[in-house]
Amino acid sequence: MNINLLRIVKQMIDSDIDPRHFCSQIGLEFPDDMPRIEIFRVLVRVLGVKAKRKRTRKYNLNETVDLIRNAKKILVLTGAGISVSCGIPDFRSRNGLYAKLAVDFPELPDPQSMFCLKFFKSDPRPFFRFAKEIFPGNFAPSPSHNFIAQLEKNDKMKRLYSQNIDGLEKQAGIEKVIQCHGHFYTAHCLNNNCRTEYQISDLKKRIFESKVPHCDKLIFKPTNMEEEAFHEEILKLPPGDPKIEEIRTKFYQKEKEPCNAVIKPDIVFFGESLPSHFHRHMAMDQDDVDLLIVMGSSLKVGPVNDIPDAIDENVPRILINREPLPHMPEFESELLGNCDEIVEYISSKLGYDIGVTKKEFINFEWDKMCEESAQKLAEDIKKRETEKILSKTADVDPPAADVEKNSTKVSVETSNTGDSEETPSESQEPPEKKARTDCVPIEENPDRARTDCVPIEENPKNGVPENPEPNENPNERNAMDSDSDSESETDQPVVEVKLGEYIAAPSGFQTLFHGCELPLHRLIEDAEDSDSEEIQDDDGQVEDEGPGEDTNLSEGPTSEVQNEEKTENPSSLETES
């Protein structure tokens, strides 16, 4: 921790200085009823230079299930990933909400503007055109929601902190839930002098008509001159004068008009503070947890992503997600794949009913999967190159019907002019055919050959070709457009796990399920880094040894790639504030 920061915070505490003003200057807002000491704690976490937490030990799949079986105070932190199977898109994946908004709402300066309070106040129309797609009641809870409900039913869960606004937690019967980013069940008028509350059912008709709902409550709207005259008249009277109440009553009994301010659902937009009960409950829960489970979230936006740092470092952590989170404190166990598939396996071991047909899971071999993935990649590359060669040949050689037609036309022209020196076939041969044929990509380096042969103008902003070739492999294109944590590596074999199978990765703490699409070499590098640390431990470079030692990833040449964060482009919605 930065010593100078601690000294400043200590001076503020000793001098009884309210930290709210300082926090507001750096963009942190807190509820009025939040204790000062909790504000200081958040301030230290946000500004402190704290070493990244290292995992205490590695847990394989069976040990991970035992962790959940024996825990009594599990803190669950969820994001959009647990609602994707319900039909609600997540935010940052290649086919997620931000990608869809960029296409459907071109008037947005940026996809995140849809959930920006400042933009909403200036133009709420895009939001309400979109709102009907995430309207509560249109979706049913997923197996992941039902799994969390079973944790609560079996007295294992301390509390659920959800970043989603879809309300599916309550539909699943979960009671101990904090909706960190608000919800869609109620709404409020944005006029601070009105703030009338509405049930979302009152606005349903207007929302489904893509109309902006306005507050219809009758309120008094004095002009600036009327307000100034009223206050001047009050100030002329001594405090406690009975005439003050008479003047006040007369002033507010004037004719009222509809408020007409925009009504905003009670979800937390960018630029708004989180609900006060989030901070209040987090202050109570952070020291009373025996296991943390993070499910379906990239944990890119605070202050919710401060939760893993807030709890004790000795509390084990489990990640259930499609991909690792290298920017976060390390997890003792990473179950990588679709959340529903993973919790189905865990539930089968714990005897939980999460509303799915039970199936037997098969432990597939890592080496066999690597062989199959490499073979499939080789076949895909060969197929892509064949398609490109055929495509270029088709572009160079005109169709046979056109050649015959052109030959006939030339023959007629030749007979009419009497010129027989040049045959039709000679006159119609494309002059550039030989040059274009020489540019066919060679197998040794297809990417380089393709770039040299067909120059593609790149977008200077992100380096992705703006106009892909018609025959470009869609998977390759999606990989480049993906804003997931994993880098785009189209010519590297990737993990492929079938439904009902799981694979123990060589790292010792990662188990792969269906839905995990990481490049194989990243998982291999994780294992190599982890093994190198174990060798260092055996050589006596680490004091503590045994099952509780730090077997974290070393900061080798791959750490820079592993810590690369997603491109910022909120879900089901995970309105990250």
Active site residues: 181
- Written as one letter, the residue type at 93 is S
CA triple 546-547-551, angle to 5 deg = 95
Nearest to residue 263, comparing CAs of 209, 184, 166? 184
H/E run at residue 284: helix 276-285
Nearest to residue 162, comparing CAs of 340, 296, 68, 42? 296
Cβ(550)–Cβ(51) below 8 Å? no
CA triple 478-480-484, angle to 5 deg = 85
- DSSP annotation of 464: -
Residues 6+ apart with CB under 8 A from 535: none
SS3 of residue 18 by DSSP? coil
DSSP letters of 148-216?
A: HHHHHHTT-EEEEEE-B-S-HHHHTT--SEEETTEEEEEEEES-TTT--EEEHHHHHHHHHTTPPPB--
DSSP letters of 483-548?
A: -SSSPP-TTS-B----TTEEEE-TTSSEEEETT---BHHHHHHHHHHHHHHHHHHHTTSSS--STT
CA distance 538 to 219: 75
Rounded to 10 degrees, what is the CA torsion of 267, 271, 272, 274? 90
CA distance 291 to 558: 29
SS3 of residue 355 by DSSP? coil
H/E run at residue 263: strand 263-267
